[in-house]
Chain A
Amino acid sequence: MSVNDNGTLVKVDAATKYFKRGSEEIHVLEKLDMQVPEGEFLALMGPSGSGKSTLLNLIGGLDRPTSGSVTVAGERIDRLSRQKLAAWRARHVGLVFQFYNLLPVLTAERNVELPLLLTHLSRAERKKHVDAALDVVGLSHRKTHYPKTLSGGEQQRVGIARGIVSDPTLLLADEPTGDLDRKSGDEVLDLLKALNKDHNKTIIMVTHDPHAALRSTRTLYLNEGKLSTEPAE
């Protein structure tokens, strides 16, 4: 992993993103600049359609900016080919989704193992990593269960275990508590906080929930394609 001298892990530089819908161009992000230092727990807030998830996708290499650049750990990921970008994601990014997005045909442990299938780890080594990740999220006792037999909170913890199992540089969470009740949501937020504090994971979390944002070390607000440190009026 490589970070800038000033400790910046993620650098978004003049990133613009627009989508075409028929003949119409929808501008989501406009020359956006952002820096995230290593070890930060950043909350991204903003109204629906403000471009939070789009920004997260650019940082995670799931999408490319229309113009501008995205540099993570010293690497210009917007220039990577699809193939290289996939390999980069496997090595550097852990993702946590609002609706967990677990594969229903796989047990919890097999879901967590997915990113490791792309590595050269042996079966025994993969199992060791999976057990450790499930232990971190407190679900070792549920590892052979299928997603449909787990509660929403448990499913999200499995999702987090899948996100951290390959020890990524960056953990990106898109509305991780959006589908959970308050109690389960708090458990997930506690877990993310612990990962940031105890394991020094850099986390960028998109959320609508000010209560969730309180756990972060910094909150940025995105409105009409622009970032600010204060919520829009």
Chain B
Amino acid sequence: MKFVKLVISNFRRKIIRTVLTILSILVAFILFAYLAAIRQSLSQGIDVAGADRLVVRHKVSIIQMLPGSYEADIEQIPGVADATFSNWFGGIYQEPKNFFPQFAVNPEEYLAMYPEFLLSDEEKEAWFSTRTGAVVGRNTAERFGWEVGDKVPIQGTAWTRKGGQRTWDFDIVGIYDGAEQGTDTTQFLFHYAYFDEARSFGRGLVGWYIVRVDDPDDAVRIATAIDDTFANSPAETKAETEGAFVQGFADQIGNIGAITQAILVMVFFTILLVAGNTMAQSVRERTGELAVLKAVGFTDSHVLVMVLLEAMAIAGVGGFLGLGVGWLMISRGDPTGGLLPIFFLPPKDIVMGVILVIVLGLVTGLLPALQAGRLRIADALRQL
């Protein structure tokens, strides 16, 4: 403790330089936190994708639809435990910027397929029994201030009703929560039966299938079996794991992981130079003082550890403050108003941030610390 005070007192030496160095580290770690949250958001679902779920879509593209009859065929394939479907709706609530995903589904099957969507028994019952009923994720419900009992009109952009009307009215009968932090709570789910009966075209078609397999290790074989089943048909399929399906979506805007990693490497390399130079300069400036400390009895190890502690303290203050401020800013939610619905700093990235803080402190402090530790008293005093 007595040496820690000595280390801390050194921060007063060039207070502006110390503050600027800490600020540069702080900004770097805010950026780190934000990029981690953005990467998490853009690759949403990959981490929480069910290992035992496959997604079966049209072989040509996701926007090509599949016959509703495939469900029964898929369920016949050995290894398939369950199957259901989903249909993209793509409607607008009030104005186009209010984007959120809407799907027409079979409520019972869908909830069985996605147990991570948590609804009370009363809400489930209400949904199953209300033809125009819809359930909405907590995130979207809070975004628009929706409550159970509200009637919500959604403008169809692709799907019109028979007769040409674009407005679809839904009754909010439940608000679901996610079982995990990464669970998507932005979805708006409603009855496929209501949708299919009322739409002006495409009756009997679905967007894609979701398939639960008995054994995740058998997923590749089952995916191949599904695709083989519908080979040479008018609507051939492409089956893949849910994780790969979500990853495919994320990759449409590039390899997000590589992009964020490249930015972070550049940022941290710059910070390494800034903080490393500050420490080296700081040690050079007080060669005489370090020699005096050694002259009065401080050992090489004492001096080495003190310089290292100083570097780690600077990295620690800047880094942890940066992570904290970043976390606070991220906690306020999606900064884009809907494009990044699952926006949070994942715990694994917090751990990675802490490791980076420690590594930054060690790397920036190590060389100056070794230099200070090796300092020869007589030589240093002669230079004064």
Task: Please measure, in the bound complex, the distance between the C-alpha atom of A151 and the C-alpha atom of B33, giving whole angstroms.
Answer: 50
Instruction: Name the one of B6, B9, B13, B377 contacting A117, with C-beta atoms under 8 angstroms.
Output: B6
Task: Please measure, in the bound complex, the distance between the C-alpha atom of A62 and the C-alpha atom of B384, giving whole angstroms.
Answer: 15
Given A101-B384, A105-B12, the answer on whether A63 and B296 have CB atoms closer than 8 Å is no
Considering the complex, give the chain B residue whose CB is closest to the CB of A126.
B2
Asked if A115 and B297 sit within 8 Å, CB to CB, the answer is yes
Task: Please measure, in the bound complex, the distance between the C-alpha atom of A62 and the C-alpha atom of B294, giving whole angstroms.
Answer: 9
Determine whether B114 belongs to the interface, using a CB cutoff of 8 Å to chain A: no
* Residues of chain A with a CB closer than 8 A to B294's CB: 86
Given A83-B299, A86-B299, the answer on whether A97 and B292 have CB atoms closer than 8 Å is yes
**Nearest Cβ in chain A — how far from B190, in angstroms?**
68
- What is the interface size of chain B, counting residues whose CB is below 8 A from a CB of the partner? 26
Considering the complex, give the chain B residue whose CB is closest to the CB of A103.
B289
* Residues of chain A with a CB closer than 8 A to B298's CB: 86, 90, 118
Asked if A83 and B300 sit within 8 Å, CB to CB, the answer is yes
Given A86-B300, A104-B13, the answer on whether A114 and B295 have CB atoms closer than 8 Å is no
Determine whether B293 belongs to the interface, using a CB cutoff of 8 Å to chain A: yes
Determine whether B378 belongs to the interface, using a CB cutoff of 8 Å to chain A: yes
**Nearest Cβ in chain B — how far from A28, in angstroms?**
11
**Nearest Cβ in chain B — how far from A102, in angstroms?**
8
Q: Mark A68-87, 1 if CB is under 8 A from B, else 0.
A: 00000000000000110011
Asked if A60 and B10 sit within 8 Å, CB to CB, the answer is no
Q: Which residues of chain B from 1 to 24 have a CB within 8 Å of any chain A CB?
A: 2-3, 6, 9-10, 12-13
Given A99-B384, A101-B292, A104-B13, the answer on whether A57 and B378 have CB atoms closer than 8 Å is yes
The interface residues of chain B, by DSSP majority, are classed as helix
Asked if A118 and B297 sit within 8 Å, CB to CB, the answer is yes
Determine whether B50 belongs to the interface, using a CB cutoff of 8 Å to chain A: no
Determine whether A215 belongs to the interface, using a CB cutoff of 8 Å to chain B: no
Task: Please measure, in the bound complex, the distance between the C-alpha atom of A61 and the C-alpha atom of B358, giving whole angstroms.
Answer: 36
* Residues of chain A with a CB closer than 8 A to B292's CB: 95, 97, 101, 103
Asked if A91 and B288 sit within 8 Å, CB to CB, the answer is no
Asked if A95 and B384 sit within 8 Å, CB to CB, the answer is no
Determine whether A89 belongs to the interface, using a CB cutoff of 8 Å to chain B: yes
Given A101-B289, A105-B13, the answer on whether A89 and B378 have CB atoms closer than 8 Å is no
Q: Mark B287-309, 1 if CB is under 8 A from A, else 0.
A: 01100111111111110000000
Determine whether B381 belongs to the interface, using a CB cutoff of 8 Å to chain A: yes
Task: Please measure, in the bound complex, the distance between the C-alpha atom of A171 and the C-alpha atom of B239, giving whole angstroms.
Answer: 86
**CB-CB nearest 3 A-B residue pairs:** A90-B297, A63-B378, A86-B299
Extra inter-chain contacts (16) besides given A99-B384, A105-B10, CB under 8 Å: A62-B295, A62-B378, A62-B381, A63-B377, A86-B294, A86-B299, A87-B299, A97-B292, A103-B292, A105-B12, A106-B6, A114-B293, A117-B2, A118-B296, A118-B297, A118-B298
